[in-house]
Amino acid sequence: MIQPDSHVINEEQVWATLTAAGRADTSRVRAVLARARGLGGLAAEDVAALAGISDPELLGELFETARAVKEEIYGRRLVLFAPLYVSNLCGNDCAYCAFRASNREIQRRALTQAEIARETQVLVEQGHKRVLLVAGESYPREGFDYILRAIDTVYATTSGRGEIRRINVNVAPLSELEFRRLKERRIGTYQLFQETYHHETYATVHPRGRKADYDWRLGAIDRAFVAGIDDVGIGVLFGLFDWRFELLALLQHIRYLEARFGVGPHTISVPRLEPATGADMASHPPRPVSDLDFRKLVAILRLTVPYTGIIMSTRESVELRRETFALGVSQISAGSRTNPGGYADGADEEGAGQFCLGDHRPLDEVIRDVAQLGYVPSFCTACYRLGRTGADFMDLAKPGAIKQHCEPNALATFQEYLADYASPATRSFGETCVAERLADLSPASRRRAEDMLARVRAGERDVYC
């Protein structure tokens, strides 16, 4: 079995880098920001220098640099998805999570396949095309086969002209054989968060269950790569430990994956601790991250790994989510429910979710807001379906060629939403957004987008390049 080297996360090196950086002077910070604009990423020493910024003028320059880098690579598009919780059964006892095994304040539920189909139908009828399938780290009687059957059910469920075109998966760390079976199900990204890279904190907040094994969890991404899943997502649960340490440790993990497999993660998620029923730590984070520091760490991440997607969940408030769009976030969840059955039930049941939401708006309202802010809501799944994943995706992304596909695909999927699901107000704003974004495209991309938009308006669906 392939496991990562035990020294992948070198804590002494992290602290030494932070200590050496101290509070970098203005010239040092500006030199790092200038280098970041070259889209080559940043070294650990650069990350440490930016983490120490407190001067308002330099903060403004950091945020502006992140905006410029994000738009250079991703343009003005935001990918949307919904989490689909199929079970809250769990054998772990994570101190911060409502699903923890010892919590008696929530009702346990694993959806039947019929209930999963109903949840999927509701999401499809809202206009979703991408879901993140989530389960607590324990399964009903059939074990891991339950997850595989759930994936089959989601893909098989349609309503009208709609369907889910790509399923990303966030489930417990798997064996290499299980990862191979997961790959056969045509998933998109396998997503798993280490939660915290700090060993002592990790042991404290994960006292029991398989998740207590730090190395087993850290090695899951290795096993996924070996099994042929080259599109992976990682992340940190900010608030458990010093966010500066977590950024540098996250970078160590990324550089290790790049060295070993030739490519790092496709996405990084940046959840922050939010209150959760029966989990006092979630309401009182050991190392709380202020809104300013949160914005700062998102911007630093964007400059550090410029071609990696950054995911923002509905944990955060409407206002903070809006602010992070311009700082590096490229994917957002919308209309989320974090309790199994929450979509069909029509509400996030009080006390039943994994954590409290900060953004309760329905998908249509989020899309209208995104369009009004000048971004293109995208439901694109083309790269997964055309094999543009892992190193192949990066080979297109780094020279800027991926934008020739992403921008037309984003507009086509947005036009589909406007035609089939949007409210009149959203359709009006959306059509204006489409016209404005078309005008900003290069001539070649504009011609491609106009052809795809015409096909969608004529009734064709699932148009992509």
Averaged pLDDT, 400-424: 91
**How does pLDDT run across 81-132, given as a tens digit for each residue?**
999 999 999 999 999 999 999 999 999 999 999 999 999 999 999 999 999 9
- Using CB atoms within 10 A of its CB, is residue 109 exposed (0-12), middle (13-18) or buried (19+)? middle
If one compares 24 and 285, the residue with the highest pLDDT of the two is 285
pLDDT of residue 348: 53
Residues in contact with 357: Cβ distance below 8 Å, sequence separation at least 6, in sequence order = 274, 314, 315, 336, 338, 348
DSSP string, 89-108: --S---TT-TT-TT--SS--
What does the block give as tokens for 56?
């308002």
Predicted structure pTM score: 0.95
C-alpha span between 390 and 93 (Å, rounded):
33
Answer whether residue 282 shows pLDDT above 80: yes
- What is the pLDDT at residue 396? 76
Report the residue count for the chain: 465
| Mean pLDDT, residues 350-369 | 90
The first and second tokens of residue 258, run together, are: 């790049």
What contacts 244, CB < 8 A, 6 or more positions away?
18, 48, 51
DSSP state letter for 451: H
For 357-379, the DSSP string reads -S----HHHHHHHHHHTT-EEE-
C-alpha to C-alpha distances, 60 to 66, 98, 133, 194, nearest whole angstrom: 10, 37, 37, 31
pLDDT at 244 over 60: yes
What's the mean per-residue pLDDT of the chain?
Answer: 94
Residues 298-333 have pLDDT tens digits of 999 999 999 999 999 999 999 999 999 999 999 999
Q: What band does 390 get if pLDDT is binned at 50, 70 and 90? A: confident
Q: Please determine, for residue 268, whether its predicted confidence score (pLDDT) is greater than 90.
A: yes
Tokens 């399938």 belong to residue: 133
